[in-house]
A and B are shown apart, each in its own frame.
Chain A
Amino acid sequence: MSKGEKIPHAVVAVAREDARFKAVEVHRHDRQVEILWTRSLPADRQATWSGFASACGLTPDANHRDKVAKRHSPAVIGLDLTGVAFYRINAPVVDEHELAAIVRMQAESLLPLPPDQIEVAWRASPSTNGTADITIAAARREYLHKFAGNVRDLRPRNIFLSCEGTAKAWQSLFSAHERLVDADAVKSVRPRGLGSQAVLVSIGQENTQVCLVQDGLVTRAAVLDLSGAGLLHSAEGAQAGLLSEVMERFAHDLRAILSSFGWSESSPWPLFVLSDGSPVHQHVVESLNGAGLPAAVSVPSLRGLKTPSGFEARDVYEYRTLLGLALIALEKPGAALNLFGRVLEEQEQQKAASAWRSVALAGAAAVLMLIVLLVTVYLTDVASAKRWDALVKQPDFQAAVQQQALLKTVARHRPDILELLTEINAGQNDGVVLDSLHFKKGQTVSMSGQAGNMEQMWKYQANLREQKGIKDAEIQNATPDTKTKKIKFTMTVQYKEFTKKEAAL
């Protein structure tokens, strides 16, 4: 974690443990830690990190319509010890840069693979006698990249070693002095505090994790084959001989691991077997004590925890690693061994480079398409221009166009006089007789006539107004004839466009 990065108030811790995917969301209040929810699903062959993240609502479901990534608290992931090796070296107390160079050199000599294939994280313990104890965790880079790729959907803020979470959980949530089985063990168990070292034995469903913890930080770790499931099977099998044999082998293996950690019979470290209060764990402790190893059970407590309803102390045991990982993330994650710093950075760089590549590729494709489009349009235009130009230049075509244009001109200037006469006489015009008609292009058509009475004349005017080609039928004058006792009138009408001034040739 960079120095400028803020410590979150809430985290989601996710890990694969005991053949199950587990997740827990933890919120930190001022002096209290609240567990918001927990989730656990079997990690069978079909199960994936992405599927589990989706099941927890941390990523959009592939089948779900809402494809937008949901907002959630920062995620911290636990990496189990499979594929991780611990080393411990001594180095002179020098400044951090020099120490880093020394560690790198010594690590290269210790590691079985070339340095470019290995990722290393280290942590120095407080110096004694002018030298510093360095804890080195190493793993294959390819393995870490693969793991980081698997958990990519969770968008992890940090990936820590699960054993560090277990150690943190033991330090914060487990009791060390309860349920000790042997008086000697009580004497030998020193309180956890400054400079204290203890060995944690965390029996899981698949294996047993052994960690040497100093000041709450893991300095060595190893994994034993003994599983909680195997122990339970042996205990339930009521075969005292078999159980005894299993425990003997376990004690023997544990002693070997302790030796590799630097165990000394003269000043033994206390052993704590993390337990949910199960009799099996009690039996393990008894067996270890019988084998001369000062062991005690350490049980979880809900003290200082705000939990959801139904969440019990045994659930703290169940989710111990995740709670520990969450607590590390909520406190000072910079102290944890971080194997993934460079890996996540590289993946981010790859992602950014990939995004740029995509943009560049899309840009190049767009430019190419544009060029193709331009070339196509150019060729099409040139070919069309040639073809159409040749067509319109053909004599037949030109003659036809000219003839049609001439016909249109004639049509535009040719009034249909028969149609005009038909419209003037259209309708029932009883009693109306026309005496004269004058049509001249560019002038209104004028008509004079006589009608039996005014109503007949008006009806005639109304009839004219209904005709399609005639507009503005107006009576110019109407006078009664004293001789014939009829109404003599003069009317003007507009006929289509021909009575407009510009129609005259």
Chain B
Amino acid sequence: MARKLNTREKRILLLGVVSAVAIFVFTCGTKLFDDWRKARATLATAKRKLSDVETDKNRQAALAALVPVFETPHVEDKQKFLFREKLHEQLKKAGINTDPLQFLPVRKPRGVPYRVLKIKCKGKCKLDQLLDFLGNLKENPYCVGVEELRIQCDTKEPPEKRKDKQIEIDLVVSTFVK
């Protein structure tokens, strides 16, 4: 026949139960805490990635206005070819006569995830043609931007006679290569 536990036995039993519960809680708690920490890290990363996405309509519109098209950069040779062809086409379309396009050495600037390839062109055109070319340049899906532009008028001509006269231009435009 079972006997009743005395106070000391009850205390030991209680201590044992409390210890067992504490061990269980600690073990499970540690695992859960680790899971939680991982989950929070994953969540933070995902949130950071999502926060990089531009969701503001006005900013999206401004971005689209400034960069309406741009193709993911290709390897150097391919990008060189594509960029030069498109640039040549645009210059021709604007009616700008240039010397042969000249590639500048590829370099890797800091803070940009791609290497940069630049093309230099030198030529003569009317101011309207230049403006037309610059207006259409953003439609070039390989062009990053104008790196340098020099415009020089013929200073021998008096200002009132310069209209419709040719101007000299030195232009450097850039693209990204993989």
Q: B14 to chain A: closest CB distance in Å?
A: 18
Segment touching B, from A16-24, A273-281, A316-324, A400-408: A400-408
Q: Which candidate, A54-62, A237-245, A410-418, is the interface stretch facing chain B?
A: A410-418
- Would A439 and B148 count as touching, CB distance under 8 A? yes
Contacts of A502 in B (CB 8 A): 111
- Verify A435–B46 contact, CB threshold 8 A: no
B contact residues around A353 at 8 Å (CB): none
A308-335 vs B, CB cutoff 8 Å, 1 = contact: the mask equals 0000000000000000000000000000
Cα–Cα distance between A405 and B32 once the two chains are bound (Å): 36
The answer, among B35, B43, B111, B135, for a CB contact under 8 Å with A388, is B43
Taking a contact as CB atoms under 8 Å apart, the answer to whether B146 and A436 are in contact is no
Closest chain-B Cβ to A308's Cβ sits at a distance in Å of 64
B103 to chain A, nearest CB (A): 14
Question: Which of A386, A438, A505 has the largest count of B CB atoms less than 10 A from its CB?
Answer: A505
* Interface pick from B3-11, B47-55, B77-85, B91-99: B47-55
Q: Report if B24 contacts A (CB, 8 A).
A: no
Q: How far is the CA of A409 from the CA of B172 in the complex (A)?
A: 19
How far, in whole Å, are A388 and B162 apart by their CA atoms in the complex? 62
Interface 0/1 of A371-382, CB less than 8 Å to B: 000000010011
CB-defined contacts of B134 to chain A, threshold 8 Å: 417-418, 421
A241 smallest CB distance to B (angstroms): 77
**Contact indicator A407/B150 (Cβ below 8 Å):** no
Q: Does A384 contact B (CB under 8 A)?
A: yes
B116 contacts chain A at the CB level, 8 A cutoff: yes
In this assembly, does A392 line the interface, its C-beta being within 8 Å of a C-beta of chain B?
Answer: yes
Which of A382, A388, A403, A504 makes the CB contact (< 8 A) with B46? Answer: A388
Query: Is A434 an interface residue when CB atoms closer than 8 A count as contact?
Result: yes
Closest to A382 in B: B39
Partner of A406, one of B46, B72, B135: B72
Q: Which of B32, B47, B67, B116 contacts A414 (CB 8 A)?
A: B67
* Contact between A391 and B149, CB atoms less than 8 A apart: no
A381 CB contacts on chain B under 8 angstroms? 36, 39-40, 43
Min CB–CB distance A490 → chain B (angstroms): 13
Contacts A381-B39, A385-B42, A434-B153 given; does A441 touch B148 at CB 8 Å = yes
Does A388 lie within 8 Å of B50, measured CB to CB?
yes
Instruction: Say whether A437 contacts B70, CB under 8 Å.
Output: no
A413 in contact with B145 given A384-B43, A421-B131 (CB within 8 Å): yes
How distant is the Cα of A502 from the Cα of B112 in the complex, in angstroms?
Answer: 11
In the complex, which residues of chain A have a beta carbon less than 8 angstroms from the beta carbon of B89? none
B125 CB–A CB distance under 8 Å: no
Do most interface residues of chain A lie in helix, strand or loop, or is the interface mixed?
helix
Q: How far is the CB of B70 from chain A (nearest CB, A)?
A: 5
Partner of A440 from the list B43, B50, B147, B158 (CB cut-off 8 Å) is B147
Contacts of B42 in A (CB 8 A): 385, 388-389
Complex interface: chain B residues within 8 A of A302 (CB):
none
Question: A169 CA to B150 CA in the complex, in Å?
Answer: 119
Cβ contacts under 8 Å, B113 to chain A: 409
Interface residue A450 (Cβ < 8 Å from any Cβ of B): yes
Partner of B32, one of A378, A401, A407, A505: A378
B151 close to A (CB within 8 Å): yes
Would you give the shortest CB distance from B159 to chain A, in whole angstroms?
A: 4
Give, as a whole number of angstroms, the nearest-CB distance from A505 to chain B.
Answer: 5
Chain B residues near A434 (CB-CB < 8 A): 153
CA distance A392 to B70 in the complex (A): 23
A-B residue pairs, 9 tightest by C-beta: A414-B145, A388-B46, A433-B159, A385-B39, A385-B43, A440-B148, A385-B42, A505-B116, A382-B39
Chain B residues engaging chain A, CB cutoff 8 angstroms: 32, 35-36, 38-40, 42-43, 45-47, 49-50, 52-54, 63, 66-67, 70, 72, 107, 109, 111-114, 116, 118, 131, 134-135, 138, 144-153, 155, 158-159, 162, 172, 174, 176
Q: Which residues of A come within 8 Å of B, CB atoms?
A: 378, 381-382, 384-386, 388-389, 391-392, 400-411, 413-418, 421, 433-441, 450, 484, 502, 504-505
26 A-B contact pairs sorted by A residue (CB < 8 Å): A378-B36, A385-B39, A386-B39, A389-B43, A389-B46, A402-B72, A404-B53, A405-B52, A407-B67, A408-B63, A410-B176, A411-B63, A411-B66, A411-B67, A414-B145, A415-B146, A435-B153, A436-B150, A436-B151, A436-B152, A437-B150, A438-B151, A440-B149, A441-B147, A450-B159, A504-B147
12 extra A-B contacts, CB within 8 A, seeds A388-B43, A406-B70, A413-B144:
A378-B32, A378-B39, A381-B36, A388-B46, A404-B63, A409-B113, A414-B146, A421-B134, A433-B162, A434-B153, A439-B149, A505-B109
